[in-house]
Structure 1
Amino acid sequence: MPSLPVSQGHYRIATRLGDLIFTAGMTPRKDGVLIRKGKILNGTPVSDYRACVELAVQNALQAAQSQMTPGERISRVLNTTVYVAAEEGFEGHSKIADLASDHLFARLPEIEPGARTAVGVYTLPGNAPVEIALVVAVQSP
């Protein structure tokens, strides 16, 4: 099992209120190290960013699961926010976000998609190309 994401500052990777879990923004870090740095570039196929987007999603799921008790499951993904650090003129933010949605719902096929926001930003922490935050609802057995 991959290691649990570690906060890069003074915050928790996820917080829980009742049956809702809010994750911090998760970048594509493996064992605390970004697997890719730099902006998402015009002219580069979106599929070239799949691995880093999927790792950011996986980190967000792990952060959410860290707040769950044995037997609980994610019953709904209420919101996915995808921050995209792209060069000027990039217009494929929703396609980057689609990579996140596709991976999320491949991992949780019984759950319907929730709301999603794709936001273009100038930079992200550590020069990450993408950052993903989730809001999920959990259900006890």
Structure 2
Amino acid sequence: MSRIGGAQPVPQGDYVAARRHGGLIYTAGMTPRQDGRMMYHGPVRTGEVEAQREAVILACANALRAAEATLSGQEEIAAILTLTVYVAAEAGFTEHSRVADFASAFLRERLGARGICSRCAVGVASLPGNAPVEIQLVAAV
């Protein structure tokens, strides 16, 4: 089992961090917060993709922690089914997939083949709390 440690993400509004229905887990959008505090800020700028690595990893780790918190006993995530990475990018930014690659690599590193999934990278004008990225995933138990 490869559950990751650390504090559970705290919802910043009237919602839950993750919801399980049967064998599926849906997470809320997770930003790069630690102990409720935004650790990185947007927007993502052209030529600064590598500078977003830690922000993406933190947001993805928060999503994975939220999903794992719905597991009981010896259950584990069988597969990440899909990953959506929202990127708060400056106008003209075109490297959304490169930003999302950090999340894909994190999931593959943590879960092996179970972490390889379909993915969507979406550019947006802004995100809650001025986050540079927001990550949402769907997992199977």
Q: Could you say which TM-score interval applies, normalised by the shorter chain?
A: over 0.9
User: For residue 56 of structure 1, what is the aligned residue in structure 2?
Assistant: 59
Q: Which sections of structure 2, spanning at least 5 residues, go unmatched?
A: none
Moved over 3 A (4+): none
Q: Does 1:47 find its partner at 2:53?
A: no
TM-score (norm 1): 0.94
- Partner deviation per Cα, 1:38-88 (whole Å, 9 max, x = no partner): 2001122x2211100000000000000111001001111111000000000
Report SS of the residue matched to 1:108.
helix
Which sits farther off after the overlay, 103-112 or 54-63? 103-112
| Cα distance in structure 1, aligned partners of 2:45 and 2:135 | 18
Q: Does 1:66 find its partner at 2:69?
A: yes
User: For residue 12 of structure 1, what is the aligned residue in structure 2?
Assistant: 16
**Contact 2:104/2:115 (CA < 8 Å) preserved in 1?**
no
Residues paired across the two proteins, number: 137
User: For residue 113 of structure 1, what is the aligned residue in structure 2?
Assistant: 116
> Which of residues 41, 45, 50 in structure 2 aligns to 1:37?
41
What is the identity, as a one-letter code, of the residue corresponding to 1:49?
Answer: Q
Report SS of the residue matched to 1:133.
strand
- 1:112 is displaced (CA, Å) by 5.3
What is the identity, as a one-letter code, of the residue corresponding to 1:97?
Answer: A
| Cα distance in structure 2, aligned partners of 1:104 and 1:64 | 12
* Identity level (%): 51
User: For residue 27 of structure 1, what is the aligned residue in structure 2?
Assistant: 31
Q: Which sections of structure 1, spanning at least 5 residues, go unmatched?
A: none
Report SS of the residue matched to 1:81.
strand
The CA RMSD measured in Å over matched residues stands at 0.9
Q: Does 1:129 find its partner at 2:137?
A: no
What is the identity, as a one-letter code, of the residue corresponding to 2:71?
Answer: M
Report SS of the residue matched to 2:93.
coil
TM-score (norm 2): 0.94
